Amino acid sequence: MSETSRERFQSTLCRARKIAVLTGAGVSAESGIPTFRGAGGLWRRYEATSLASPEAWQRDPGLVWEFYNHRRERALGCAPNPGHHALAQLEAWWREAGRVFTLITQNIDGLHEQAGSRSPVRLHGSLWQVRCLSCESVTENRDVPITPAFAGSGSPDPEAPARRFTAAELPRCRCGGVLRPHVVWFGEALQESDLAAAAAGVEGCDLLLVVGTSAVVYPAAGFVPMAKRHGALIAEVNVEPSAISGLCDVVFTGGSGAILPSLLDVTPARAP
Ligand code: APR
């Protein structure tokens, strides 16, 4: 009798010495954080992706901060879901067994860390870090609102009155410089160290699990063909086909919060 996708995935998983996981916005959807290209990807009349750019910042840094302040406010009210917890548990089992586990995320919401994932590779930065445009220092910042001027701002309602924030109302570094969100915007390069850590995690992995990404943004999506080239089993969890589904050996269709807990309930020692 032919092996089911689940059997194939779990038998490869329990034998795997090195696994990598790539996540996108879909893994946080069941926590209440909308994805970028799905329903809810709009903030007022803006595509979420259009505000995540140096051009948008040049045009109106106050508007960009209003958008990120809104995303921080929302993320603060969200908790990791069973999908995040299942990945953190799998990592713990793999580390305990002295095997290699690398979580690579495109998400900036911090929910993987909240679920107990240890040092995920954050390709696109973090909502909870800011960077000074003068001294370039990067600091943790959990102030919501980011400055008092942003209190009550950020409504996603397209009819919400547009406000112009003055330079004095923008968040400032101790050096006096303006702080921007420490996230990677479109057209900006990723941190070399994060790219190297992700590549090292994918290189030679036995299994790559791809969860909740449309896989249209590079270099993140490029890790899938990279793993495929060296013969890793490629598995995907998504509610619908993505740009890399064709590269996958096994595909599990549905919400990651519903699928991952039982799919990943495999310890290195115990064969399924
Ligand atoms: N479980 C699993 N997958 C889901 C779920 C869910 N509950 N809900 C939605 N998805 C899937 C969607 O089908 C889609 O394929 O998650 C994916 C989300 O895709 P995008 O919105 O494009 O988000 P992502 O792939 O993370 O975007 C990549 O683009 O906007 C930039 O920097 C931003 O990191 C982001 C990058």
Residue 214 alpha carbon to ligand 1 centre in Å: 5
Give the per-residue pLDDT at 49.
76
Give the per-residue pLDDT at 3.
75
Residue 211 alpha carbon to ligand 1 centre in Å: 9
Pick the catalytic residue: 70, 84, 85, 124? 124
Residue 213 alpha carbon to ligand 1 centre in Å: 4
Among 256, 269, 215, which Cα is nearest to 98's? Answer: 269
Give the per-residue pLDDT at 48.
73
Position 63 pLDDT exceeds 60: yes
Q: Could you count the other beta carbons within 10 Å of the beta carbon of residue 211?
A: 24
Are the beta carbons of 235 and 252 closer than 8 angstroms? Answer: yes
Greater pLDDT, 254 or 162: 254
Q: Give yes or no for residue 50 CB within 6 A of ligand 1.
A: no
Exposure string for 161-182, b = 16+ CB within 10 A, e = fewer: eeeebeeebbbbbeeebbbbbb
Give the per-residue pLDDT at 1.
54
How big, in percent rounded to 5, are the helix, strand and coil portions of the chain? 35, 20, 45
Q: Give yes or no for residue 109 CB within 6 A of ligand 1.
A: no
Are the beta carbons of 22 and 234 closer than 8 angstroms? Answer: no
Are the beta carbons of 124 and 110 closer than 8 angstroms? Answer: no
Q: Give yes or no for residue 30 CB within 6 A of ligand 1.
A: yes
Q: Could you count the other beta carbons within 10 Å of the beta carbon of residue 191?
A: 16
Q: Give yes or no for residue 268 CB within 6 A of ligand 1.
A: no
Give the per-residue pLDDT at 154.
87
Residue owning tokens 């901060």 = 65
Residues 11 and 4: their CA atoms lie apart, in Å, by 11
Least trusted range by pLDDT, from 45-49, 208-212, 240-244 = 45-49
Mean pLDDT of 83-89: 98
Mean pLDDT of 124-133: 98
Position 96 pLDDT exceeds 80: yes
Bridge partners (DSSP) of residue 105 are 23, 122
Give the per-residue pLDDT at 58.
96
Mean pLDDT of 58-80: 96
Return the structure tokens found at 166: 């003055």
Return the structure tokens found at 256: 């990651």
* Mean pLDDT of the residues in the chain: 94
Residue owning tokens 């586990």 = 101
Position 272 pLDDT exceeds 70: no
Return the structure tokens found at 225: 């063909």
Q: Give yes or no for residue 242 CB within 6 A of ligand 1.
A: yes
Position 100 pLDDT exceeds 80: yes
Are the beta carbons of 126 and 182 closer than 8 angstroms? Answer: yes
Give the per-residue pLDDT at 189.
96
Residues 162 and 165: their CA atoms lie apart, in Å, by 10
Per DSSP, the three-state class of 85 is helix
Among 191, 195, 236, 199, which Cα is nearest to 214's? Answer: 236
Residues 87 and 209: their CA atoms lie apart, in Å, by 10
Position 253, amino acid: T
Position 259 pLDDT exceeds 80: yes
Among 219, 139, 154, which Cα is nearest to 184's? Answer: 219
Return the structure tokens found at 90: 């799998």
Choose which residue among 68, 214, 263 to substitute to test ligand 1 binding: the one with the highest number of ligand atoms within 8 A of its C-beta: 214
Active-site residue, 230 included: no
Greater pLDDT, 48 or 193: 193
Position 214 pLDDT exceeds 70: yes
Least trusted range by pLDDT, from 41-55, 67-81, 173-187, 243-257 = 41-55
